[in-house]
Chain A
Amino acid sequence: MKMRNISMRLVNSILPVLLAFVIGGVVILAIGENPLETYGILLGKSLFTQKGLLNTLHYASPLILTGLAIAITFKANIFNMGVEGQMLLGGFFAGIVGAYLPAMNPVVAKLICLAVGVLCGMLFAMVPAILKAYFRVNEMVVTLMLNYAMIKVLEFLSTGVFRDYSSGYVSTPTIKDEAMFSRLGSSKLTIFFFVALAAFVVMYFVMNKSKLGYETTAIGKNLEFAEATGMKVHKKIITLMAISGALSGLAGAGYMMSEQFKYTLSFSGNPGLGWDGMLIALLGGHSPVGVLIAAVFYAALKTGSDHINLYSTVPKEIVAVIQGLIILFLAVKFVDEHTDIGDKIKMKFHKKSHAAGREE
């Protein structure tokens, strides 16, 4: 039964990806390029060379965190769409603290920056959490609105108050060397990947082995039943949103300290690490291990998209199109408990042998 469950989930995750790639291939064909060659560049350079693989793991680090941040709330049927905003805020203030820090022990400096990021993300997530838990305001609309508001506020802060006028474009000052994660070897991989892995291990135990994880699943399956059996749903919502915000903040802070080093208006890229996190959570079926695999796969697409730009004339925006298609197809469950292909085939054989037996 368990095996069947896992294989069902695998089919439900892989089929949408394949479908999206097929449609993406048609688009690439339509603009007169070779889709197989493009996909070869996309995945080959990012997964099958040593340097490429390490770079992929580097880009996967923030995605693992945002993916987990979304997975834990979606699992409880709370739609926290504010991961993007929480991540940006965490990254921004980690960067500001990193830039204005007095000289000190590098380890302490890094810890302070990460803590600031986590705290900012957590506090910002409290706004929709409290509104949802105590005033029953729809959290999806609130978090989406707060994202737009947060982007505007950070734009204001980085063009005015914290602007670094020595740089030619809008950005905050670069963080101090003490606060930067240094690279391991020739690739871009830093300690941050292991920080993300540690967060993954913690979340694995929280979601699969702890009381909170069980309660999350129960709330997601039936909120009123969970309340009736005595779970304090308000408090759980606050806790889950706090965890989600903390993970998002950590993702932002780590991305700031390992990749960007300063806040620019395109800090999180397009369509943003928070939105990528949503794809990853869906792709991984809201389970921590699934999120880890999906994050690496998605990071491979992302690093690969830069190679597409270099080695072919296909615009790298094609990856965003494929991403949208994947989410679209992920919404539909292709197979579930009721469509069991194995059983159907067995039934057919059974009938046939039955019929054959009768003929004799």
Chain B
Amino acid sequence: MDMLGNILYDTVYHSAPIILCVIGGIFAYKANVLNIALEGMMLTGAFVSTLTAFLTHNVLLGVLLAVLSAMVLGLVFSFMSVTCKGNVIIVGLAINLLASAIAGFVLVRMKTSNITLSFLNVANLQVNIPVIKDIPLLGRILSGHPLITYLSFLGIFLMWVLMYQTKFGVYVRVVGENEEAAKSIGLKTDFYKYVAILIGAMCCGFAGANLSTERLGLYTNDMTAGRGFIAIAAIYCGRGSPTLSSAYAILFGLARALSVNLSIYAGPAAGLFDIIPYIMMIGVLTVVSIVENKNNMTRGFKNE
């Protein structure tokens, strides 16, 4: 029972940053600019939030600046890929490399290998929800998370509304589905692409702050460890739907929680449990892809 509670609590814990990346990334996906810079934006968010909190002892300011800095990267990304028409994948990879390089550069200048927030007790950031926390198992799982974790689950609903119930969402999808048609009715397609990318950047900033400052009070370089790419895989599997893609994100959170909790019993093979999430994501992608192409009758090879 205790074990189950731990696993489910950790599922929520590890899902949150990926859900944030997913619900941010789907807008760019729907607008037909594949944003693979999610990883770098998240890393920058994590770095800036911890650095700011370290220097000013103000966590709120840290989160704010994390979001801002991620959005600056988002601006660079959209300028290079939308305005200058650069190759989206290469721009994204460059931003991922840059984010890690800049953080590494600053860390070396500070003569340290990681930033630890010694003034902060991360347990104090956890919020207990009044009524729910007294329900036996459910309270253990749903209560006691930091603020951004709650925000991420709330975000699934918000982004669903934004995507399917507002004019803005329709326009973004039109831009992605048929850019020429969107232009012909007078939509500023570049503007919608910019906004779509910036929404993603904002969410990644939150995700980074959640990952480093809120949960651990610690930043080490490359701590995002591919979560941005896992988010992209989840977006692919869910075909850009906020709810379905988030479900895949939670599936990854579960894999991660399992690997963390089970590795205690594994002894020396514990290191191998870290690969479960990655392998599972590949398996899921494959199964989804097989199911989707099962009834495909076109001859030969078609792109995506």
Q: Which residues of A come within 8 Å of B, CB atoms?
A: 27, 31, 79, 131, 133, 135-138, 140-142, 144-146, 148-149, 152-153, 155-156, 159-160, 223-224, 227-228, 233-234, 270-271, 275, 278, 282, 315, 317-318, 320-321, 323-325, 327-328, 330-333
Q: Which of B109, B236, B289 contacts A31 (CB 8 A)?
A: B109
User: Is the beta-carbon distance between A135 and B289 smaller than 8 angstroms?
Assistant: yes
Q: Are A138 and B285 in contact (CB under 8 A)?
A: yes
**Given A320-B104, A321-B101, A149-B293 contact (CB < 8 Å):** no
Interface size for B (C-beta < 8 A) is 50
In the assembled complex, the CB of B98 is this many whole angstroms from the nearest CB of chain A, namely 3
Main SS class of interface, B: helix
- A224-B303, A233-B300, A328-B80 in contact; A142/B293 too (CB < 8 A)? no
Question: Which of B2-10, B49-57, B87-95, B170-178 is near enough to bind chain A?
Answer: B87-95
Question: How many A-B residue pairs lie within 8 Å, measured between CB atoms?
Answer: 139
Interface residues of B (CB under 8 A from A): 36, 76, 80-81, 84-87, 89-91, 93-95, 97-98, 100-102, 104-105, 108-109, 225-226, 229-230, 232-233, 236, 268-269, 271-272, 274-275, 278-279, 281-282, 285-286, 289-290, 293, 300-304
Pick the contact of B285: A141, A155, A224 (CB < 8 A): A141
Taking a contact as CB atoms under 8 Å apart, the answer to whether B80 and A331 are in contact is yes
Complex Cα distance, B230 from A12, in Å, reads: 33
* Chain B CB within 10 A, most for which of A233, A234, A327: A327
User: Could you say which residues of chain A place their CB within 8 Å of the CB of B272?
Assistant: 152-153, 156
Smallest Cβ-Cβ distance to A228: which chain B residue:
B300
Query: Which chain A positions have C-beta within 8 A of B233?
Result: 138, 141, 145
CB pair A270–B301 under 8 Å, yes or no, is no
Is A327 a contact partner of B278 (Cβ separation < 8 A)? no
Find chain B residues with CB under 8 A from A159 CB.
Answer: 271
Q: Assuming A224-B302, A331-B90, A332-B84, is B289 touching A324 (CB within 8 A)?
A: no
Report which of A144, A234, A282, A317 forms a contact with B105, defined as CB distance below 8 A. A317
Supposing A275-B97, A324-B94 touch, asked if A135 and B279 sit within 8 A by C-beta, the answer is: no
Q: Known pairs A148-B278, A152-B274, A331-B91. 5 more at Cβ < 8 A?
A: A137-B285, A141-B281, A149-B279, A152-B272, A315-B105
B103 and chain A: residue at smallest CB distance: A317
The answer to whether residues A145 and B229 also contact, given A137-B289, A156-B269, A324-B98 and a CB cut-off of 8 A, is yes
When distances are taken between beta carbons in the complex, the residues of chain A under 8 Å from B225 are: 148
Inter-chain contact B102/A321, CB cutoff 8 Å: yes
Listed A/B pairs (12) with beta-carbon separation below 8 Å:
A137-B285, A138-B233, A141-B236, A145-B230, A155-B271, A156-B271, A223-B303, A278-B93, A320-B101, A324-B98, A325-B94, A325-B98
